[in-house]
């Protein structure tokens, strides 16, 4: 394998075999507030779909103790791309959250990593508000039916034969009391006109939820498959109680996104102005502008570093060597800084691919990725970017 680290960065593997380690999605808090502990998952197989009987371990790496792996728990509700929604609880120094399967329901655990105290709530989560008190989630049974690899195995979709069910949708979980309720139904959203596509025979679901930076609104993707026109996506936002639903992008191709602040969203999508690009959308309006028009040329898992001037991003495998590129983009100066190229071995494709999914530390000085470029299975790698962040 070719050398993956850029000459100006340091690359450090922080997990080791024989078992495999990864974190999953790019929009979750992987680092604790002190930047010392890095969450991850451990599994002893690759290259097949998980079943409800496959147990994986939950743990964290101590970056200040020889990258020691500290086991914290386990789960049977997970997928290769997004794991089990493992994350630090926003606003907490010592609590983590992750999803699990108890045989009858998908649930969420909250655990204090210092005391060991653990609570279990009666619904899985997806994204958590900035104050750590509220979570929202889609119906993972529906996702597993519609997009295997993003839902969880173990429970069939009770609405599998319905195109737009009223009993499937988005759920809000109070992380203080455990109260849970459906706040948006699929049937409700399908009634919102879509002027760009004919979707009368489409089957619908929700995925990819994310609270904004102060918890006042959240994104969700309304996705569907139609027999004639294929796969379509609408990016929408709502208030935490499910009210005030807004259509942000209805041209059908929204992919990865991130909130820049309380009202602006960076997303890879298609727009008639510039076609396939990264765009900055203003929630509640039709305002949109291109970001990184000549630099950020391919879809990737984008996040803003804490100062919001820098975008951290990657690419999917490209070219003969199936290279995944990692980079920083400085918005004010239109400057792109490569962080490394990571070849993805052939077996890592489809549902069990190993995307880099870059995540940054709270101080913005470090980045962790998942990668299988060394040929010994997926592991987690730390990159120091502190000396590059000079405007």
Write down the pLDDT at residue 228.
Answer: 77
| Calpha distance 200→185 (Å, rounded) | 17
Give the whole-angstrom CA distance, residue 85 versus residue 27.
Answer: 10
Model confidence pLDDT, tens digit, residues 32-90 = 999 999 999 999 999 999 999 999 999 999 999 999 999 999 999 999 999 999 999 99
Contacts of 66 (CB under 8 A, 6+ apart): none
Query: Other C-beta atoms within 10 Å of 356: how many?
Result: 27
Q: Which of 247, 206, 197 is nearest to 226 (CA)?
A: 197
Q: Which of 31, 207, 191, 74 is nearest to 136 (CA)?
A: 207
**pLDDT tens track of the chain, all 391 residues?**
344 656 456 899 999 999 999 999 999 999 999 999 999 999 999 999 999 999 999 999 999 999 999 999 999 999 999 999 999 999 999 999 999 999 999 999 999 999 999 999 999 999 999 999 999 999 999 999 999 989 999 999 999 999 999 999 999 999 999 999 999 999 999 999 999 888 889 999 999 999 999 999 999 999 999 987 789 999 999 999 999 999 999 999 999 999 999 999 999 999 999 999 999 999 999 999 999 999 999 999 999 999 999 999 999 999 999 999 999 999 999 999 999 999 999 999 999 999 999 999 999 999 999 999 999 999 999 999 999 986 5
The contacts of residue 42 (CB under 8 Å, 6+ apart) are 15, 19, 20, 21, 56, 57, 58, 59, 69, 71
Q: How far is CA 314 from CA 13, 308, 324, 342, 386, in A?
A: 18, 17, 7, 10, 18
The pLDDT value recorded for residue 8 is 56
Q: Which two tokens stand for residue 314?
A: 């990657």
Could you please report the per-residue DSSP string of 304-318? E-TTSSEEEEE---B
Residue 10's pLDDT is 87
Q: What is the pLDDT of residue 4?
A: 65
- Collapsing DSSP states into helix, strand and coil, what is residue 359? strand
**Cα 232 to Cα 85, 90, 222, 226, 251, distances in angstroms:** 24, 32, 8, 8, 8
């Amino acid at each position: 394998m070719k050398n993956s680290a850029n000459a100006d960065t340091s690359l450090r593997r922080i997990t080791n075999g024989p078992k495999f380690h990864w974190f999953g999605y790019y929009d979750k808090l992987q680092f604790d507030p002190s930047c010392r502990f890095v969450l991850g998952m451990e599994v002893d197989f690759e290259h097949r779909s998980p079943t409800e009987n496959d147990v994986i371990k939950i743990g964290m790496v101590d970056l200040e103790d020889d990258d020691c792996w500290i086991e914290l728990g386990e789960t049977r509700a997970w997928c290769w791309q997004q794991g089990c929604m493992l994350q630090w609880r926003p606003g907490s120094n010592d609590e983590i959250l992750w999803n699990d399967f108890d045989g009858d329901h998908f649930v969420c655990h909250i655990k204090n990593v210092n005391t060991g105290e653990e609570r279990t709530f009666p619904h899985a989560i997806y994204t958590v508000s900035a104050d750590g008190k509220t979570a929202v989630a889609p119906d993972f049974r529906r996702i597993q039916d519609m997009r295997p690899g993003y839902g969880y195995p173990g429970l069939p979709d009770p609405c599998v034969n319905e195109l737009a069910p009223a009993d499937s949708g988005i759920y809000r979980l109070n992380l203080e009391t455990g109260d849970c309720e459906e706040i948006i139904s699929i049937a409700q959203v399908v009634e919102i006109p879509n002027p760009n596509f004919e979707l009368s025979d489409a089957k619908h679901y929700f995925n990819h939820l994310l609270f904004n930076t102060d918890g006042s609104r959240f994104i969700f993707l309304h996705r569907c498959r139609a027999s004639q026109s294929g796969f379509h996506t609408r990016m929408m936002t709502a208030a935490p109680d499910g009210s005030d639903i807004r259509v942000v992008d209805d041209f059908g191709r929204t992919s990865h996104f991130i909130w820049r602040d309380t009202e602006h969203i960076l997303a890879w999508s298609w727009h008639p102005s510039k076609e396939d690009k990264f765009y900055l959308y203003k929630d509640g309006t039709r305002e949109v502008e291109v970001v990184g028009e000549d630099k950020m040329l391919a879809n990737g898992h984008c996040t803003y570093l804490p100062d919001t001037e820098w975008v951290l991003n990657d690419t999917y495998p490209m070219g003969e060597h199936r290279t995944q590129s990692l980079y920083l983009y400085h918005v004010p100066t239109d400057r792109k800084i490569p962080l490394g190229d990571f070849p993805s071995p052939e077996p890592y494709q489809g549902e069990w691919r190993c995307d880099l999914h870059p995540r940054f530390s709270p101080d913005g000085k470090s980045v962790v990725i998942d990668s299988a470029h060394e040929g010994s299975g997926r592991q987690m790698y730390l990159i120091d970017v502190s000396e590059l962040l000079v405007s």
